[in-house]
Amino acid sequence: MIEKNMTLAWRNLWRNRRRTLITAASVFFAVLFAVVMRSLQLGSYGTMFRNAIESYSGYIQIQQEDYWENKTVDNTFPYEPGLREQLTSDKNVLETIPRFESFALASSGPTTRGVMVMGIHPEKEQHLSKVSEKLVKYRLTPDAVQAIRAEPQIPDKVKELLDLYESHSYTGTKRLQLDLKIDDDDAEDLMPVILQHARFDNGHIQLGEPGAWVGEKLSRYLGLEIGDSIVLIGQGYHASTAAGKYAIRGIVKMPLPDIDNRIVYLPLDVCQDLYNAGDNLTAISLHVDDNGDKAVSATVSRLEKVLAGQLRVLDWKEMNEVLVSQLDADNKSGMIMIGILYLVIAFGVFGTVLMMTAERRREFGVLVAIGMQKRKLASIVTSEIFMMGLLGILGGCMAALPIILYGMEHPIVFKGEFARIWEDYGFEPVMSFQGIDTYFLWQVVIVAVMVVIALGHPLSKIFRLKVVNALRA
């Protein structure tokens, strides 16, 4: 019986193809827009969180009890060998990353700025922030732009863009190629010429060797180049004076403009000497195996028991409360926008179902008049609408999938003035897509619920059908 009803329903769908396609299309676009929009939203949030976490805080930090509320070098703690063993004994902790962080006034000639000084272990930092990978490798200096423009094989459209991006710095070739709008087919001929003139040589910092890395935006503000000196003045441990002069070994370009504008990296032991802090640390960031929310929360709980109140354990959400609040508010506004989209599409679905019911009123009357039970008629109509909904849902999912997969590999990168606006707000000018996750299923479920609600109208009309009136329709 069910199989026969399904067959009848399927045949009924294609008796009026236009009506079927209109209804299925409304569901199709609802699923497509909702899934793609949500993927773009969540992916962009993930990129912002990842940049904040991996550029600065890490997923978990160990600190002295009072340091987070009062960030002075007096609220530090000694880095003892036993502490590292305690931390790495946890199944989710792969490595400890020691840090010493404080504030200083940076000066280069007549220009000064308040900066964040961070002492790092260059090798261990590769597990988290990977600072060495953010060293500037190419810079379009005025001399480099002039030399590139003089090359005969450089097309006019690239020369125009060179003027737009003059003085920009790059940590790799991909963004440089994208900004100059060089196709992959032309990249093989053009990029080697451009890179030859734009190459920027950086040095490295090592434990025991005085030297500094500075943020790219900070270097521009202070007018610093490789080999120049930067003077740092601040307050050291127990009110001592912290003062030092360091050669610039490298310039790093951080994803978050706010950090890029004020960061100075020193080797860990050099930074400890600057602030007269001995072997003390301000924090230990942990390199974890699983950085999912549940795994991080479980790791924090275990470490709190192990440390037994000696030190404080913070997760990334606690250390980035402002960013979490900002993106949570943005997430809610995004959900409101998707809700409005659902509302519009719901009226579209209901409108097509309403149209279908009105058009078929006489048909329903004839079927009931010749002996078909209303229950069976309702069952067939239900099957029809579910099939139309299923066609739209499956079609929307199939169409959204390649868009999302492509977006994951090729995120939307803003350029020019729009990119600068994003950077002024403190965000990397990139919008990414999130991979297939529970949000995908939820969008499908919500659209399916909309179809079920729309089904209430034809079922109500069928069960309240008066044959005589229907036959006169």
137 and 43 in one domain? no
pLDDT of residue 421: 67
Q: Considering the chain, what percentage of its residues have pLDDT values greater than 90? A: 26
75 and 177 in one domain? yes
Q: Which residue has the higher pLDDT, 23 or 295?
A: 295
The residue segments making up the domain with residue 402 are 2-51+323-471
222 and 335 in one domain? no
Q: Model confidence over 214-244: pLDDT tens digits?
A: 999 999 999 999 999 999 999 998 888 899 9
102 and 186 in one domain? yes
The pair of three-digit structure tokens given for residue 236, joined into one six-digit string: 């050291």
Residue 27 CA to residue 399 CA, distance in Å, equals: 12
386 and 272 in one domain? no
236 and 168 in one domain? yes
Last residue of a domain, one of 297, 319, 341: 319
pLDDT of residue 427: 65
Contact present, 76 and 67 (Cβ < 8 Å): yes
130 and 17 in one domain? no
Cα dist. 5→9, 11, 378, 448, 464 in Å?
A: 6, 10, 10, 21, 21
370 and 281 in one domain? no
Q: Model confidence over 372-385: pLDDT tens digits?
A: 788 887 888 888 88
Q: Model confidence over 348-366: pLDDT tens digits?
A: 778 878 887 888 788 878 8
Q: Which residue has the higher pLDDT, 253 or 3?
A: 253
pLDDT of residue 473: 59
462 and 413 in one domain? yes
pLDDT of residue 420: 65
Helix/strand/coil (H, E, C) string of the chain?
A: CHHHHHHHHHHHHCCCHHHHHHHHHHHHHHHHHHHHHHHHHHHHHHHHHHHHHHHHHCCEEEECCCCCCCCCCCCCEECCHHHHHHHHCCCCEEEEEEEEEEEEEEEECCEEEEEEEEEECCCHHHHCCCHHHHECCEECCHHHHHHHHCCCCCCHHHHHHHHHCCCCEECCHHHHHHHCCCCHHHHHHHHHHHHHHHECCCCCCCCCCCCEEEEHHHHHHHCCCCCCEEEEEEECHHHCEEEEEEEEEEEECCCCHHHHCCEEEEEHHHHHHHCCCCCEECEEEEEECCCCHHHHHHHHHHHHHHHCCCCEEEEHHHHCHHHHHHHHHHHHHHHHHHHHHHHHHHHHHHHHHHHHHHHCHHHHHHHHHCCCCHHHHHHHHHHHHHHHHHHHHHHHHHHHHHHHHHHHHCCEECCHHHHHHHHHCCCCCEECCCCCCHHHHHHHHHHHHHHHHHHHHHHHHHHCCCHHHHHCC
Q: Which of 162-176, 195-209, 308-322, 345-359 has the lowest average pLDDT?
A: 345-359
pLDDT of residue 246: 94
Within a 10 A sphere around the Cβ of 28, how many other Cβ atoms? 24
Q: Which of 227-231, 247-251, 448-452 has the lowest average pLDDT?
A: 448-452
Q: Model confidence over 110-167: pLDDT tens digits?
A: 889 999 999 999 899 888 888 888 899 999 988 999 999 888 888 888 888 888 888 8
305 and 340 in one domain? no
pLDDT of residue 377: 79
pLDDT confidence of 82, banded at 50, 70, 90?
Answer: confident
Residue 226 CA to residue 437 CA, distance in Å, equals: 45
Write down the pTM of the prediction. 0.71
Residue 102 CA, chain-centre distance (Å), reads 28
pLDDT of residue 34: 82
The distance in angstroms from the start CA to the end CA of the chain is 30
pLDDT of residue 306: 87
pLDDT of residue 112: 92
Last residue of a domain, one of 301, 319, 337: 319
Residue 197 CA, chain-centre distance (Å), reads 33
pLDDT confidence of 100, banded at 50, 70, 90?
Answer: very high
Taking all residues of the chain, what is their mean pLDDT, rounded to a whole number? 85
78 and 47 in one domain? no
Q: Considering the chain, what percentage of its residues have pLDDT values greater than 70? A: 96
Last residue of a domain, one of 292, 319, 346: 319
Specify which of 75-79, 309-313, 389-393, 460-464 reaches the highest per-range mean pLDDT.
Answer: 75-79
> What's the total number of domains in the chain?
2
208 and 269 in one domain? yes
pLDDT at 426 over 60: no
pLDDT of residue 383: 82
Cβ neighbours for 339, distance < 8 A, ≥ 6 positions apart: none
